[in-house]
Structure 1
């Protein structure tokens, strides 16, 4: 299954090259194409994920087809490992998913695909003692719609996203250091455009799985639901009392 996911990610990266101009709609969650990304950006993302031990601890290595941005406000957004205060993260962020590059026709394919956005905390209750890890903080899905301004790339507005697991703001306990809050975007590993029937975790802790002494969470949930990662980002947050 892991091999199949990696093969699909590589194929997606090859097929979904290029982009159109990006657009942010205030107060909305948007997924659309962007022009400012390149292979260098993808390499940078991979290096950051590896340096933060997100790959391979939280997710197996994959080739990002997109760059994902998460923004709570113009001053508070995910930037591959920046630190934000939990009190600034109380509402679900807006989400932007930018293609690396784009070719004609690729966005039509994307418009029929269900995207899944997920946030996980692999450092619960702390990075040194992750016995509660991972904590599921959000799962939401949407199918892109054609852009109203005639752009060839799809976008998703706030009303289009459907919660599978409602957003839970980061709330790291006292004296547990910095927690990584990791964003993933998934697509169906088999490339289907049919509606997805995702399982809602029975509990946020361990993503509802039985704990056997090892970290369990978003990676297993994605595999069980037939999803492949195509983008990732992350932040750090910690309690003010350390």
Structure 2
């Protein structure tokens, strides 16, 4: 097995451990077929605060927008644009979905210039920030929340994204609804994911 195949398997296993794909995309037939195309590296400014596929991070160290870097396992399509999101499917808790999903961050029209290396994602530089970053704010006593970053490939035929009118339920007003519905509306394809856990004890 190649190094890249092992890395892809590691991401898949970590996502399956917390049922990330199943919860975010319950009606899409990708839960058992999704294969990540690269690694999404996420680093916060506080030292030793790196998102690592399900590690637990303090909420106080994750309030500022992190830095992002996408590293493809093979090559990245430099002719396409990409979208980066952060969503919380556990609002206000993992068993109560009335505010879920909560939209924490959306950046669209990301372009990579190096097919082999991927690149750093710099919000506001040659891309569009649809929703500015809001750090984790889990209610006290609601257990661990999954804060999930997703990188998705855009459809070149979609020139205008559907509006996200509100953070709660991604504006749809339906508990447990979010990125899947918005991705379907805009024909986005999931490329990779990373996530961390946080709580307010």
Q: TM-score category by the smaller chain?
A: 0.7 to 0.9
Taking the aligned partners of 2:6 and 2:186, their CA distance within structure 1 comes to 31
Structure 1, unmatched stretches of 5+, are 1-35
Contact 2:89 2:146 in 1 (8 A): yes
Kindly name which structure, 1 or 2, has the bigger radius of gyration based on alpha carbons: 1
Aligned to 1:99: 72
- Structure 1's 41 and 198: CA in aligned 2 closer, same or farther, altered over 3 A? same
Q: Which of 163, 166, 189 is residue 203 of structure 1 equivalent to?
A: 166
Number of equivalenced pairs: 191
Q: How does 1:10-159 map to 2 (within 5 A)?
A: 38-59=4-25, 60-61=30-31, 62-73=34-45, 74-102=47-75, 107=76, 110-144=77-111, 146=113, 153=117, 155-156=119-120, 158=122, 159=125
Shift of 1:218: 0.7
- Structure 1's 152 and 231: CA in aligned 2 closer, same or farther, altered over 3 A? closer
CA deviations 1:41-63 (Å, max 9, x no partner) are: 11111111111011211134222
Taking the aligned partners of 2:23 and 2:112, their CA distance within structure 1 comes to 34
Aligned to 2:144: 178
- Structure 1's 80 and 156: CA in aligned 2 closer, same or farther, altered over 3 A? closer
RMSD over aligned CA atoms reads: 2.1
Aligned to 1:222: 183
TM-score (normalised: structure 1): 0.72
Structure 2, unmatched stretches of 5+, are none
- Structure 1's 152 and 115: CA in aligned 2 closer, same or farther, altered over 3 A? same
Taking the aligned partners of 2:194 and 2:62, their CA distance within structure 1 comes to 15
TM-score (normalised: structure 2): 0.86
Contact 2:74 2:116 in 1 (8 A): no
Taking the aligned partners of 2:134 and 2:10, their CA distance within structure 1 comes to 28
Contact 2:104 2:131 in 1 (8 A): yes
